[in-house]
C-alpha cells in the first residue's frame, strides 16, 4: 500500500484524493491517511502531491516509518475524503 507521510502534516493539499480510483483517502485534522487494505498501488496520487508526502510502504524514509502504522490505524476510524478542499498551508 501507499502511505501519507510527514510533509502532508499541516498541509493537506488534497490534490491526491481526486485521482484515487478506489477512494481510499481518509481525513485527519492535520493530515490525510490511506487505508492500506483498500489502496491498489496504482501510484496515481504520488505525482499529484506538491510536497511529495506519499510513498510506497517499502520506500518510506527511515525517519517517517511510524506513518505506516499511523495510516493503518487512523484510516479506518476517519471520514472518507474524495473531493479537493482548501489546504491548511496558506500558500
Q: Which residues bind ligand F3S (CB under 6 A)?
A: 4, 8, 11-16, 32, 48-49, 51, 53-54
Asked if 33 and 9 count as a contact pair (C-beta separation under 8 A), the reply is: no
The grid coordinates of residue 32 equal 490525510
Q: Which does 43 bind (CB under 5 to 8 A by kind): ligand F3S, ligand SF4, none?
A: ligand SF4
Asked if 5 and 31 count as a contact pair (C-beta separation under 8 A), the reply is: no
Q: Which does 15 bind (CB under 5 to 8 A by kind): ligand F3S, ligand SF4, none?
A: ligand F3S
Q: Which does 48 bind (CB under 5 to 8 A by kind): ligand SF4, ligand F3S, none?
A: ligand F3S
Asked if 2 and 56 count as a contact pair (C-beta separation under 8 A), the reply is: yes
User: Under rule CB under 6 A, which residues in 38-57 are in contact with ligand SF4?
Assistant: 39-45
For residue 3, count other CB atoms closer than 10 A to its CB.
25
32 binds ligand SF4 per the rule CB under 6 A? no
The grid coordinates of residue 2 equal 501507499
Q: Which CB, 22 or 89, lies closer to ligand SF4?
A: 22
Amino acid at each position: 500500500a501507499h502511505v501519507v507521510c510527514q510533509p502532508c502534516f499541516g498541509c493537506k493539499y488534497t490534490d491526491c484524493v481526486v485521482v484515487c480510483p478506489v477512494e481510499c483517502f481518509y481525513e485527519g485534522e492535520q493530515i490525510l491517511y490511506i487505508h492500506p487494505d483498500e489502496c491498489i498501488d496504482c501510484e496515481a496520487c504520488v505525482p499529484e502531491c506538491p510536497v511529495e508526502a506519499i510513498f510506497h510502504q517499502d520506500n518510506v524514509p527511515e525517519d517517517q516509518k511510524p506513518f505506516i502504522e499511523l495510516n493503518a490505524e487512523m484510516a479506518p476510524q476517519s471520514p472518507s475524503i474524495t473531493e479537493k478542499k482548501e489546504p491548511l498551508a496558506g500558500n
